[in-house]
Structure 1
Amino acid sequence: MDHICPICKTNNNQMAIDFVIEEFICSHCKNLISSEGISVKKKKVKEPVENVVLEVGRKGILYGTEYWVINIVIKKYGSDTFWREYTLKDRAGNNIYLSESDGHWVFLRQGNFKLTEYQYYVEVDGKNYRWYETTPCTVHAASGFFEDKLPFGLTTYKEYVNGTEMVSCEQYGNEFQFFKGNHISKSVIKKAFGITGMPFYAGIGIVQPFYYNVKQCINIMAITALLICLLQLYTVTSRTNQTVFEQTIAFEDVNDKELVSKSFTLSGGSAPLKVNLFSDVDNSWANVGLGLVNEKTNEVIYATKDIERYSGFEDGESWSEGSQNENFNMCGIPQGTYHFIVSAEKEGGGKNPFQSGYRPENGDFSVIQNTTGTFFLKNDKDKSVETFTDKESLKNEIISRTGLQNTVKEMNKMDSILVNMPPNYDYTANGEKNLSVNIKATWLPVSFWNFGIVIFIMALFTVASYIAKRIFEGSKWYNSSNSPYSTN
């Protein structure tokens, strides 16, 4: 396609396709030339330069069709508002248009469609488009080949918008042209024409879409919330909440060693395991360490807890602090078979002092003495302890329990044992208190805490999305004198 400039004799042959033109602008001298090769009053046209990323003759593939850029026109509104319009043609002679303003692109097609106009909107093909703005403009710069005469006079654009689509009515004198367009991503333009640099975004484009599809996103979240609710309902109804473990552990049984508890089974959905510890501490303390062992996976969850309670009188008033009960939760325990590994200690140690005491051959009890000379007799069966302040009473009790004959020989032998019995320095009259710790585990109701947090976050995201989109749309209509948003 050759077009010789009659002024500078430059052959303007940038195009790889042939089509009928009315005028062209010489790529060398920038004069506007008619198709017959005659200059139009030797009118020089300013070359489009600023933010122009497509040159005349450049080829690209948009939506599967090859197009060539046949002309570029920069339009001007007022003293400092500019936008760029690119006309593209395919081999079949069909035209499309790309309009770029502040880095935002619109893909347009010309058409003859019925347009019903109302006060603030027009109806096209059953869809309403709100009136955005009416803009008078002129040609600021241009280059390329034109199938009609390039209008340098005042042209008026009237634009209507519906989301990411628009309708544009262009009026020059008594002539009208209608276009329908939609947003096109600049990444699509880059890929189609192999461009390395693109104009930066500024503000929000007239048909720019929100960053994500709010309605679709909310639908997905609604379905997700329903599934979460059904899962939570199944988890709650698939199990019962009950005490799953209870055992009393004597401190003497875990003195310097660990004890493996009996096994217990949890059935149903994951939930917190509440552990209650009780020890009869009184102005003393106890410490319990627990390891919850999953017998299938051998995974262990460790926890340790202090139990302490102190009380007294001060300035004529009683006081107390601490408790004989302590509670804590092991969170998110799944179903399975478990046991505890227990370690424990108390103030004064957990060793049984009666293990080293006097035990008759046929007796079921033990006897010890403390440093005050008081004797203590502990029944092995019921763990009860009796206190004796004189040896005679103790001897009579031993004789009655064992059936020993009350002979001088037996009495002398018993006297010798009791007199020579080494005193236990740590034992007091209250020494047999706080002998054990009771461990009770209850599988709590399925927690609604995480469920509630997830639902709350989803609801919060929904509200935030609506607010963000409204702000976005309000910003989009900021430059319009017909904005439907009162904030503008």
Structure 2
Amino acid sequence: MHFTCPLCKTENKIDADFRIKEYICRSCSNLIDIAKNTSTKVVKKPVESVVLEVGRKGMIDEVEYTVTGIIIRKYGTHIFWREYFLKDKKGEDAFLSESDGHWVFLHSIDGMDVKKKLNGKAAELHGRNYRWYETTECTIHAAAGFFEDRLNFGLATYREYVNATQMISQEQSGGTNEYFFGMHISKYKVKRAFKIPHLPHYSGVGIVQPFYFNFKQTINIMAVAALMICLIQLYVVTSRTNKSVFEEEINFTDVKDKEKVSKSFELSGGSAPLKVEVSSNVDNSWASVGLSLVNEATNEIAFASKDIEQYHGYEDGESWSEGSGNETFNFCGVAPGKYHFLISADKEGNASDPFKKGYQFDNGNYSVIQDGKGSYYMKDNKTSEIKTYADKFFLQSELMTMNNILGKPQEILKIDSILSNAIPTEYNYEMKPDNNPTVKIKAEWLPVSFWNFTIVLIILIIFVGACYLGRKIFETNKWANSSNSPYPQS
């Protein structure tokens, strides 16, 4: 449809089919009465944060609408909101209301369906209750477009009822009394529907603005997550066995300046701490143990070390002691799989074995050394048993017998030469008992830890509590401008 302004002769067009009583000329802003084809007044053009123009089309919920009119309403001296009149292809009405960047999508409803309650402080529509929010008196500040009812520039009264993201709006203007049902609509949905390049400034909380996420749905998700975590923890606890998985006594001399590879052991079930206990017969001395836990499937290595110290004495008439011959530590969060240890250890006074540099038998079973005092020592490398010989000739005789060379003069001379010249004499070796020759290592597969499980549940509870508090603050701010707020006002 198109109309020619009787004053400025500007053609005004609208691509919609409905009965029009008045329109506002897009050029001279005169309000034209269609029946008389005359101007009734000049209307201010809507410019304050207006983002839609008359004639623009947009798709909302798969229905195409055309903007047929725009009204800016004014409350007090500086509060404005915008109403956009929409028509679909069937001629049905719809409205977009925008205030402070918050949008509401409305349709006309029959006032007979709205039941007032509690002296007008509540309303019911189709079994759902709405709380009275505020009553606002306003006037038309500016307008543009085509209208099927005559505009009333007098004082209009809006009474609004709210329930979450829905509302009932009652408009009393002149002798008319109309009702509208509205729902929050995302500003981004409006932007996509009408392809708006820019949106009005966004501030505060809208009258039917939803919380930033669905609180009830979040509670359900958190409850399901907590249940799943509990079931997983239950499975982990029931599917694993707590047991000793490794135990061995290591000679310090066997790991002097090198690492020993332990036997393999299997860990089955859920991830849990591996407790390691190390002990040694330290007495006013120390020992140190280094353990590398090797995952044989991935070759990942976790290293840990522990010092074992125990000292005691007598001072100022009192005895004292500190330290212990036993120490424990954990490899945390060890996953199931096949493992072994790389073991290194050292202790106070753990000198190198002097027999390693002495005379070695061809078969490697025995070693012989001489101290600086002329004594000889022979060590059985298999049993670590050491025999002392004060006479070289007695040792030579035993060596010849052990090697079965009594009838071989050349071999006898060889042994005699070795005993006289090749055996080191700088050791000053003395037979001393070693009270701390070994360190014991024991590893135990501990029960599954509930600590991480507890932390996750606590975090879930804190998150839900924070969401509840945030939602309460949000709703308090939403009702801050209401005369009937359900929340106490500070």
Quote the offset at 1:319 in angstroms: 3.6
Answering whether residue 224 of structure 2 is matched by residue 223 of structure 1, we say yes
Aligned CA-pair RMSD: 3.2
CA displacement, residues 371-418 of structure 1 (integer Å, 9 cap, x when unaligned): 8999999998987999x9x979xx9xxx9xx9xxxxxxxxxx9xx99x
- Quick one: which amino acid aligns to residue 454 of structure 2? G
Structure 2: where are the runs of 5+ without partners? 402-415
Residues 439-454 of structure 1: pairs in structure 2 closer than 5 A: 439-454=441-456
Quote the offset at 1:286 in angstroms: 2.3
- Quick one: which amino acid aligns to residue 191 of structure 1? R
Q: 1:316 to 1:342 in 2, by over 3 A?
A: same
Paired position in structure 1 for 2:57: 59
1:85–1:97 CA contact under 8 A, matched in 2: yes
Quote the offset at 1:174 in angstroms: 3.1
1:72–1:86 CA contact under 8 A, matched in 2: yes
Quote the offset at 1:39 in angstroms: 3.2
Quote the offset at 1:302 in angstroms: 2.0
SS at match of 1:48: coil
Q: 1:38 to 1:347 in 2, by over 3 A?
A: same
Answering whether residue 252 of structure 2 is matched by residue 238 of structure 1, we say no
Q: Distance in 2 between matches of 1:238 and 1:36?
A: 87
Quote the offset at 1:280 in angstroms: 2.0
Identical positions, percent: 56
Paired position in structure 2 for 1:288: 289
Q: 1:6 to 1:53 in 2, by over 3 A?
A: same
Paired position in structure 1 for 2:461: 459
Paired position in structure 2 for 1:183: 184
Residues 6-25 of structure 1: pairs in structure 2 closer than 5 A: 6-13=6-13, 15-25=14-24
Paired position in structure 2 for 1:36: 35
Paired position in structure 2 for 1:149: 150
Q: Distance in 1 between matches of 2:378 and 2:324?
A: 30
2:368–2:376 CA contact under 8 A, matched in 1: yes
Quote the offset at 1:102 in angstroms: 0.3
SS at match of 2:4: coil
SS at match of 2:11: coil
The TM-score, its normalising length taken from structure 2, stands at 0.85
- Quick one: which amino acid aligns to residue 9 of structure 2? K
- Quick one: which amino acid aligns to residue 245 of structure 2? V
SS at match of 1:3: strand
Paired position in structure 1 for 2:209: 208
Paired position in structure 2 for 1:5: 5
SS at match of 1:456: helix
SS at match of 1:12: strand
Quote the offset at 1:19 in angstroms: 1.9
Quote the offset at 1:93 in angstroms: 0.5
Structure 1: where are the runs of 5+ without partners? 403-412
Paired position in structure 1 for 2:167: 166
Q: 1:421 to 1:18 in 2, by over 3 A?
A: closer
Instruction: Report the more deviating stretch, 71-80 or 335-344.
Output: 335-344
- Quick one: which amino acid aligns to residue 61 of structure 1? M
Paired position in structure 1 for 2:129: 128
Q: 1:44 to 1:356 in 2, by over 3 A?
A: same
Quote the offset at 1:26 in angstroms: 1.0
1:251–1:350 CA contact under 8 A, matched in 2: no
Q: Distance in 2 between matches of 1:152 and 1:373?
A: 128
Quote the offset at 1:304 in angstroms: 2.3
SS at match of 1:296: coil
1:260–1:341 CA contact under 8 A, matched in 2: yes
CA displacement, residues 416-446 of structure 1 (integer Å, 9 cap, x when unaligned): 99xx99474586846x132111111011100
- Quick one: which amino acid aligns to residue 464 of structure 2? T
Quote the offset at 1:48 in angstroms: 0.7
Q: Distance in 1 between matches of 2:371 and 2:285?
A: 20
Q: 1:426 to 1:223 in 2, by over 3 A?
A: farther
Count residues with an aligned counterpart. Answer: 462
Aligned partner (choices 481, 484, 487) of residue 483 of structure 2: 481
2:102–2:187 CA contact under 8 A, matched in 1: yes
